[in-house]
Chains A and B, each alone.
Chain A
Amino acid sequence: MATFHFDLVSPEKLAFSGEVDQVDIPGVEGDFGVLAGHAPVVAAIRPGILTVTTGGRHEKIIVLGGLAEVSEKGLTVLADVATSLDELDRAQFAETIAEMEEGLKEHEGGELDQAIERLDHFKSIQQQLSSTAMH
């Protein structure tokens, strides 16, 4: 299987760089997979789980929003925050969600919609986390 170059960068560091087979990206308008030779695209990312496949091995990385760019040079993901699944502190994640629920009261109008949407994304990550943990 053909491989392509994948860079995952967050503002603080280069979180991943290397040749991969496939990357599944949680886009704002739906998940999409990127294989070698994908058409050039720039897509916004929603908070979710990004799956990197290299030689049959899957690595899951949590990204909290950002931007993906596919060009002939490969795929670059600019993630706001990128944490690999092993590094994630689940208790802290749950705390963040609780804080966001608290914070909902302060928002109003369009901002409230955005906050709710973001909260939903976070909750779905949490749900996926707990379901993968059982397997």
Chain B
Amino acid sequence: MASLKDMRVRIASTKATQKITKAMQMVAASKLRRAQTAAEAARPYADKMSAVISNIASAAAGSPGAPTLLAGTGKDQVHLLLVCTGERGLSGAFNSSIVRLARERALALMAQGKEVKFFCVGRKGYEQLRRQFDKQIVEHLDLRSVRQLGFVNAEDIAKKVLARFDAGEFDVCTLFYSRFRSVIAQIPTAQQIIPLVVEEGAAASTTSYEYEPEEDEILTRLLPRNLAVQVFRALLENNASFYGAQMSAMDNATRNAGEMIRKQTLVYNRTRQAQITKELIEIISGAEAV
């Protein structure tokens, strides 16, 4: 049985761990607030963008000259999975739930005889996917050095994806990220970005616009841009989700540590009292013998 001193050390170390998890929880909470504001600030742009695009696109999609970003290459043989995850762990199931969704999709596609390639954004996803799909990862990028997520980061990723698309390396691109619902709910999401899926309901506005320059020219300008916007939104949502997940994971850890301290203290006190009783008995029986 552990000595009293060992138990004291153990309790002290659990308390130290609890302090760390508590601090991480508070840091995550304050960063979450900032990440959430950033995600909300980006929303009007993304919403407007998709509204304008779906307006133009619903008209242009049927025509034979529609850009391939909208109409697709006509095949769906090669799939690129753009998997966005976090850079750090200690955030519960945040990273692994995104990776799991991507992995399931990849296996399903491969079972259908399609070819699957990966583009990993974020270190954690890359590390997890590398074990199983090492040869299929065509590119990975980590944003660890990035302090404040800017639009340029998203543009950068979009450019790389576009370059591969133009080179004919894949036909369909799907974006994986975690949508932020609330602190306790982050939903791993798959969104097809190439070819673009135009929502039927979004094009409900009946205004007939004049276009300057021509519609197809605006469309060719907008589509690559929209890709960057979608990636940017995914990164921001991911960022907020990450801190949300980290916050609740650390909250759990703090609570568990508290529970553990309580149990350990109980055992410690019992042992201590047992020892005192034992010593008293020894003294009394010693005195009686004299």
Q: Which residues of A contact B (CB under 8 A)?
A: 7, 9-14, 27-29, 39-44, 67, 69, 71-72, 76, 78, 80
Contact = CB atoms under 8 A, between A and B. Distances in A.
Nearest to A39: B210
Given A7-B44, A67-B218, A44 B49 contact: no
A44 B48 contact: no
Interface in B110-160: 150-151, 154
A126 to B, nearest CB: 21
Contact of A42 (B41, B151, B210): B210
Contacts of B49: 78
Q: Is the interface of A mostly helix, strand, loop or mixed?
A: strand
Contacts of A10: 45, 151
Contacts of B45: 9-11, 78
Interface string B37-49: 0100110111011
Contacts of A28: 212-213
12 contacts: A10-B45, A14-B41, A39-B210, A40-B210, A41-B209, A42-B52, A42-B55, A43-B211, A44-B212, A44-B221, A69-B209, A71-B207
Contacts of B232: 11
Given A11-B228, A28-B212, A41-B209, 8 more contacts: A7-B44, A40-B208, A41-B211, A44-B217, A44-B221, A69-B52, A76-B48, A78-B45
B222 interface: yes
Chain A CB within 10 A, most for which of B150, B207, B225: B207
A115 to B, nearest CB: 15
B218 A41 contact: no
B213 A29 contact: yes
B207 to A, nearest CB: 5
Given A41-B210, A42-B56, A12 B48 contact: no
B227 interface: no
Which 6 pairs between the two chains have the least Cβ-Cβ distance? A43-B212, A11-B151, A9-B45, A13-B41, A41-B210, A42-B209
